Amino acid sequence: MARRWPFGLGALWLCLAVAFLLVSLLAIVVYITLTGTGSPGAVTAAARHEEFGLTQAAAFVSSVAYRSAGWTHADLDPVLDLASQAGASCEIRNRAGRVVGFSRGYATYPVAGEITLPIVAIRMPGKDPARIGRITIRFGAQGLAALAMTFQRHQLRARILAAVIVGLIALAASVTTARLIVAPIEAALAAMRARAAGYRDYRIPRVRAPGVLRELLAGFNETSDAFDAMDRAQRNLVADLAHEVRTPVAILQAETEAMADGISEPTPENIGSLKAEVLRLAHMVDGLQRLAAAESAEIELKRHRCDLAEITAEVAGRLDNAFASANVMLITNLEPVVALCDRDRIQNVVSNLLTNALKFTRPGGHVTIQTSRNGDHQAIVRVSDTGIGIPADELPHVTERFFRSRRSAGTVGGSGIGMAIVAELVRAHHGRLTISSEEGRGTQVTFMLPLTGA
């Protein structure tokens, strides 16, 4: 027994869900890695470069202030304002190291990341620049580098949050997708197990599934219907065959036992009766052989270009005497039409149709056979009679094996497989068979075959 998992699905569901989730997570990791590579260092370096430029600018402004009045009377407020605007604090010392100016709260700013540069006197013509002091700038929480680090931390948190959200979405999508894929497979597996256990009527219920899987389930049900129909047809065939054989076998058994026991004499009449039953059995076996051949005709057909009018005229000619003896007029209306077909098989079809029409047409009636073509690239052969017709409720069963109309049973001979042979041979030629009838007025049987140029 397969282990069951959530949603009533098997281990395949878990495998697919995990696979989809891992692919999604791998894509997230690759994205974070590619977008994060090199960017933190680059941002920090750029911010540090800006801080260094700010310190250089402050050193230059300090040098200008020194040149105007020396350190004693130098106006250092522009330097302090420049540092304050950048969120930093500065300290200025003279060449001896004594503090000559500083920002309020300088001592409270973090030492880490401070920048110290020398203050050089502005070059005078003909003189080398001289060092006149130094400036130190400390950058606090509002500094560029600190802001850059804060930005990077926020960015990292945002990426992690995005990864979590995308992961949850990927999990939900993977579970849903895996369920859509696995549920139909599980349903098909359950159906196969049910049929294997003998539940032939089991069909797959409606299951949500993508297009091809939905078609697979529908195809399974259709295949099951087809196999069940074949099983019923096989059982019916055996039952019908047993029914048809039972009567002549019983007659033969009774007659031969009577002769063996001396109850009846082997007179020509009795022997003739036995011969008639034997011929009836032989005719039935021959019909079954022809039906089996018709069912396998599609792979045995020898197709050639044949004129259906010529084939029909030949068969009608062989049946002239039978129609004349039954006092039934045979009318032919034949238009030359060439189709790609097996000549012998089509002769068999035409012969069966004409023979059936003759059986069910009373003396004085007539049977008409005609050939033509239509605008759909099809050759048409139509047999019409003025016979007893077929009841509407029996019309769908005419081409079934051993079917015999209740009106003709006991009055018209035959094994009931002639129309089954016709239907199989027409199908083997990729043709179409239609039957229409009106009870008491006659029947019309038409079969159509593709033309050679179709």
Q: What pLDDT, on a 0 to 100 scale, did the predictor assign at position 168?
A: 77
Q: What pLDDT, on a 0 to 100 scale, did the predictor assign at position 2?
A: 45
Q: What pLDDT, on a 0 to 100 scale, did the predictor assign at position 125?
A: 59
In this prediction, residue 419 has a pLDDT band, given cuts at 50, 70 and 90, of: confident
pLDDT at 126 over 70: no
In this prediction, residue 170 has a pLDDT band, given cuts at 50, 70 and 90, of: confident
More confident: 409 or 252: 252
Q: What pLDDT, on a 0 to 100 scale, did the predictor assign at position 123?
A: 63
Region of 52 please: left (phi>0), alpha (psi -120 to 50) or beta.
Answer: alpha
pLDDT at 103 over 60: yes
In this prediction, residue 418 has a pLDDT band, given cuts at 50, 70 and 90, of: confident
Q: What pLDDT, on a 0 to 100 scale, did the predictor assign at position 445?
A: 94
Q: How confident is the model over 150-171, as a mean pLDDT?
A: 73
Q: What percent of the chain has pLDDT over 90?
A: 14
| pTM metric for this prediction | 0.47
Asked if 435 and 445 touch (Cβ cutoff 8 Å), the reply is: yes
Q: Smallest Cα–Cα separation from 190: which of 205, 210, 211? A: 205
On average, the pLDDT of the chain sits at: 78
pLDDT at 425 over 80: yes
Asked if 115 and 134 touch (Cβ cutoff 8 Å), the reply is: no
DSSP 184-226: HHHHHHHHHHHHHTT-TT--PPP----HHHHHHHHHHHHHHHH
CA angle 244, 425, 408 (to 5 degrees): 35
Region of 236 please: left (phi>0), alpha (psi -120 to 50) or beta.
Answer: alpha
Q: What pLDDT, on a 0 to 100 scale, did the predictor assign at position 277?
A: 74
More confident: 93 or 2: 93
pLDDT at 299 over 60: no
pLDDT at 344 over 70: yes
pLDDT at 434 over 80: yes
Asked if 116 and 135 touch (Cβ cutoff 8 Å), the reply is: yes
The pLDDT tens digits of the residues spanning 227-275 come to 777 777 677 667 766 766 776 777 778 778 877 877 877 788 778 777 7
Neighbours of 214 (CB within 10 A): 14
Q: How confident is the model over 326-337, as a mean pLDDT?
A: 92
Longest distance between any two alpha carbons in the chain, whole Å: 163
Question: What b/e sequence results for 100-122 when a residue is b if at least 16 CB atoms lie within 10 Å of its CB, and e otherwise?
Answer: bbbbeebeebeeebbbebebbbe
User: Which run of H or E residues covers position 92?
Assistant: strand 88-94
Q: What pLDDT, on a 0 to 100 scale, did the predictor assign at position 368?
A: 94
Q: What pLDDT, on a 0 to 100 scale, did the predictor assign at position 189?
A: 80
Q: Smallest Cα–Cα separation from 29: which of 164, 149, 151? A: 164
